[in-house]
Amino acid sequence: MKSKLKIETKCKQENDAAEPVSPTGQYLNSKSLNSCILAILESDIPIDESCALPQLRDVFLPINPRFSSIMIDDKKGVRQWKKVEVNLQDHVYVPRFPEGLSSESYDDYFDEYLTKISVEPLPQDKPIWELHIINCPTSKAAGHIIFKLHHALGDGYSLMGALLSCVKRADNPSLPLTFPSTRARSEVKNTNSKGCMTKVPRALSAIFKGASDFGYSFLKSTCIADDQTPIRCESKSPGSIPLKVSTVAFSLNQIKLIKKKLGATVNDTISGLIFLGTRLYMQETQTKFSNSRSTAMMMLNTRITRDYMSVEEMTNAHTKIWGNKFSFLHIALPRSNNTKCSNPLDFIYKTRKQISRYRNSPAIYLTAQCLEIIRKYKGSEAVAKYIHSTLSKSSMSMTNMIGPVEQVTLAGHPIKGMYFMVTGSPQSLVITVMSYTQTLRIGVGAEKGFIDSQRLNSCIKNAFELIYEAATKSE
């Protein structure tokens, strides 16, 4: 339903000069791909709808010129960001549901609405973002604030930085937000023991490994498709898949305990947990799927920095941190010999080994160069088709974001929980992971009518229990 807010606001831009759309931005807003990010914030109190337009006008729009721009083609057919006047009423939606229902009934309304906006394309004749305010009490929150942002505006890192610029710490608004450490442990290497004699073999090994990894990635993108399983059906044509979005929450402290026990990272641990839960779900359908060929597309931030920067730093011409700066890894779901998964920790060990190999592989940069060559000789639409093919031949995609340690408020509304979902993928299963305060939230985007999301969530919870018990049984 169209917004009933009555404040009419337009944001005038001082500089009308067009800015070129990045190649990745063009891929993500094409005939073959049309990807968006849904950022869902759960409010502890009912939402004051009158705050929306002033907050958008005074805080959100000034963050980045792209929020006040549309994509156009210049005379040579090159896509540009063109600044326009923004009528904020055209971007805010406040659906109305029947009054006096139970929280469970409002859960159903909320789920249906989230599925609906996950498949609706954003209009291209105005800036490609929307704000949805759900002001009814579900079992999770008194109200929901949903930002729908086109992926062409930026990746999760950029858009999370923008979102965090709009919030303040609940305990002390004058203090900056803090985040869990993202710095990986460094290994001490003895550089003097063998000197140059070891450098040549290592270089040759790296070249061989990079070529091998890139070859495998290329084959996976073009001709080697995953098996048909309960999480992957026939290849999809371009277009959004209706997703039922649900979440599973775990204690971040418990995840860190598992990580410490196994000498892994939080990313290794949660990825192994998700893979085990997914295998359990597949096996519950039929045991033969315990050994199916299934891979996940894991999104990787390619920035040198892992810590969040201010919006000013991200948009600085020298740093150029804002935008879409990511690559993807083909991570195979470990196979299981039986439905009981006798050693659930193997899923973390095997996942960690793969992530470590591919994260440090030259294949990531070779893949980027391959996309650039395709773009140069065949155009952006050809690259978008290549990426669509890559996604459709895998079984699921995964991406994660780090959220603040402290509880935050948005326009005076305490936010009790937050998560996000990526839409527009040709896959039937999309998994997102986000930390906030001391909770790790797994978002499950499952194709409606094909994947039983309730059963899948139950399997992910079961996987956590198996891993936690196995990791802590020696205590």
- SS3 letters for 175-197? CCCCCCCCCCCCCCCCCCCCCHH
Q: Do domains 10-169 and 211-402+427-472 have the same CATH topology?
A: yes
Q: Which fold has domain 10-169?
A: Chloramphenicol Acetyltransferase (3.30.559)
Q: How confident is the model at residue 52 (pLDDT cuts 50, 70, 90)?
A: very high
pLDDT for residue 38: 94
Of residues 118 and 312, the one with the higher pLDDT is: 118
pLDDT tens string 449-474: 999 999 999 999 999 999 999 998 85
Q: How far is CA 365 from the centre of its chain?
A: 21
Domain residues of the chain, as ranges? 10-169, 211-402+427-472
Q: Is 362 exposed, middle or buried (0-12, 13-18, 19+ CB in 10 A)?
A: middle
Q: Is 236 exposed, middle or buried (0-12, 13-18, 19+ CB in 10 A)?
A: middle
Mean pLDDT, rounded, for 355-360: 78
Is 0.75 surpassed by the pTM of this model?
A: yes
Mean pLDDT, rounded, for 12-24: 66
- Bridge partners (DSSP) listed for residue 443: 247, 432
Q: Are 426 and 389 in contact (CB under 8 A)?
A: no
428 closest CA partner among 202, 234, 218: 234
Q: Which residues contact 179 (CB under 8 A, 6 or more apart)?
A: 307, 308, 402, 403, 404, 405
Mean pLDDT, rounded, for 384-388: 88
pLDDT for residue 421: 94
256 closest CA partner among 458, 438, 461: 438
Mean pLDDT, rounded, for 101-113: 95
Q: How far is CA 81 from the centre of its chain?
A: 24
As assigned by CATH, the class of the 211-402+427-472 domain is alpha beta
pLDDT higher than threshold 50 for residue 318: no
Give the pair of three-digit tokens for residue 414.
Answer: 């305490």
pLDDT higher than threshold 70 for residue 155: yes
Of residues 209 and 441, the one with the higher pLDDT is: 441
pLDDT higher than threshold 80 for residue 287: no
Q: Give 366-416 as a DSSP string.
A: HHHHHHHHHHHHH-HHHHHHHHHHHHHTSSEEEEEE---SS-EEETTEEEE
pLDDT higher than threshold 50 for residue 6: no
Q: How confident is the model at residue 12 (pLDDT cuts 50, 70, 90)?
A: very low
Q: What is the mean pLDDT of the chain?
A: 83
Of residues 198 and 461, the one with the higher pLDDT is: 461
Mean pLDDT, rounded, for 133-148: 95
pLDDT tens string 392-436: 999 999 998 888 999 999 999 999 999 999 999 899 999 999 999
Q: How big is the CA angle at 54 (ends 48 and 55), to the nearest 5 degrees? A: 75
pLDDT higher than threshold 60 for residue 447: yes
Q: How confident is the model at residue 323 (pLDDT cuts 50, 70, 90)?
A: low
Lowest mean pLDDT among 93-102, 160-169, 217-226, 235-244: 235-244
Q: How big is the CA angle at 381 (ends 380 and 385), to the nearest 5 degrees? A: 120
Give the pair of three-digit tokens for residue 361.
Answer: 């592989």
Q: Give 200-257 as a DSSP string.
A: HHHHHHHHHHHHHHHHHHHHHHHT-PPPPBTTB-SPPPSSPPPEEEEEEEEEHHHHHH
Most trustworthy range by pLDDT among 132-136, 208-212, 422-426 = 132-136
